Amino acid sequence: MITLKTPAQIAKMREAGRVVAAMLEACRAVARPGVTTAELDRVAAEVLRKAGATSSFLGYSVPPYPATICTSVNHEIVHGIPSPKRKLREGDIVGIDAGAIVDGWHADAAITLPIGRVSPEAERLLRITAEALRVGIARAQVGARIGDIGTAVEEFVRSQGFSVVQNYVGHGIGRAMHEDPQVPNYRPTRGQPNPPISEGLCIAIEPMVNIGGPETRTLADRWTVVTADQSLSAHFEHTLACTAGGPVVLTARGEGAAVAA
Ligand code: MF3
Ligand code: CO
């Protein structure tokens, strides 16, 4: 069931979105060679605490997700668990995924950061994945359909010679982190749901892009998702509201994002 949000509810989600943006900015500011992914988790948790917000991820699902954020290094696609043993090294790329709850409303976003100098190939992967997210957001127009988003994302990523993960998708978001509809990053096949985008629809678009094939594997920790072929993977995500005036990104960084820091 898809629930559309009122402008007042979207304003609440924007507050959660500001906190998420501040968490990601704080992680970006400290991410460098020698820093552990557990330290990034602490930095994000501190931003949440100061904002009086809570994590969308901590305790989520079964087995309960054990951290505030997800940190996914190199061939890890999503849901990597922060660890004091995982020191970031020059040349790594690290996906940082954060969700915040403010007054019962969720926002969810992710970035992938280069650690020090990275290979030209890694740099291009980051650029193309961030661009894929922008391509998807541009299609989130009232009157279009959810499938238009994935169709555009997939076409763009393939045109660049990379592949898009299909086993994980974006999602509706609001009072829960995961609501209907699913928001795939690929063209819907016949018979797959393809709901229209209505005013007040709030969704998280989150392309996951691999240099190699799209196949995934889940590690023994039951969370960390990696590329089956060990190729590098990147992930960018925003929460947005679909309005008559076009998509409004609720997790935008930059101006206003420091409010919760
Ligand atoms: N952005 C991810 C998602 O939308 C984050 C979920 S991590 C989890 O699914 F730990 F909460 F599952
Ligand atoms: Co998400």
Ligand 1 atom, smallest distance to 79 CA: 7
- State the burial class of residue 245 (Cβ atoms within 10 Å of its Cβ: 0-12, 13-18, 19+): exposed
108 touches ligand 1 (CB under 6 Å): yes
96 touches ligand 1 (CB under 6 Å): no
3-state secondary structure at position 88 = coil
Nearest ligand by distance to the CA of 97: 1
- State the burial class of residue 121 (Cβ atoms within 10 Å of its Cβ: 0-12, 13-18, 19+): exposed
CA 65 / ligand 1 centre spacing (Å): 9
CA 61 / ligand 1 centre spacing (Å): 10
d(CA 55, CA 58): 6
Domain that residue 19 falls in: 7-259
236 touches ligand 1 (CB under 6 Å): no
3-state secondary structure at position 77 = strand
Ligand 1 atom, smallest distance to 171 CA: 4
CA 111 / ligand 1 centre spacing (Å): 13
CA 127 / ligand 1 centre spacing (Å): 22
Q: Is residue 175 part of a domain?
A: yes
Look at the chain and report how many structural domains it folds into. Answer: 1
Q: Are the beta carbons of 139 and 149 closer than 8 angstroms?
A: yes
Q: Is residue 1 part of a domain?
A: no
154 touches ligand 1 (CB under 6 Å): no
The residues facing 36 across adjacent strands are 87
pLDDT of residue 186: 98
pLDDT of residue 255: 60
pLDDT of residue 191: 93
**Any residues with CB less than 8 A from the CB of 9 and at least 6 apart, and which?**
105, 174
pTM of the model: 0.96
Ligand 1 atom, smallest distance to 109 CA: 1
Give the CATH number for residue 32. 3.90.230.10
Q: Is residue 161 part of a domain?
A: yes
pLDDT in tens, the chain (261 residues): 999 999 999 999 999 999 999 999 999 999 999 999 999 999 999 999 999 999 999 999 999 999 999 999 999 999 999 999 999 999 999 999 999 999 999 999 999 999 999 999 999 999 999 999 999 999 999 999 999 999 999 999 999 999 999 999 999 999 999 999 999 999 999 999 999 999 999 999 999 999 999 999 999 999 999 999 999 999 999 999 999 999 999 999 986 444 333
pLDDT of residue 158: 98
97 touches ligand 1 (CB under 6 Å): yes
Q: Is residue 2 part of a domain?
A: no
pLDDT of residue 254: 84
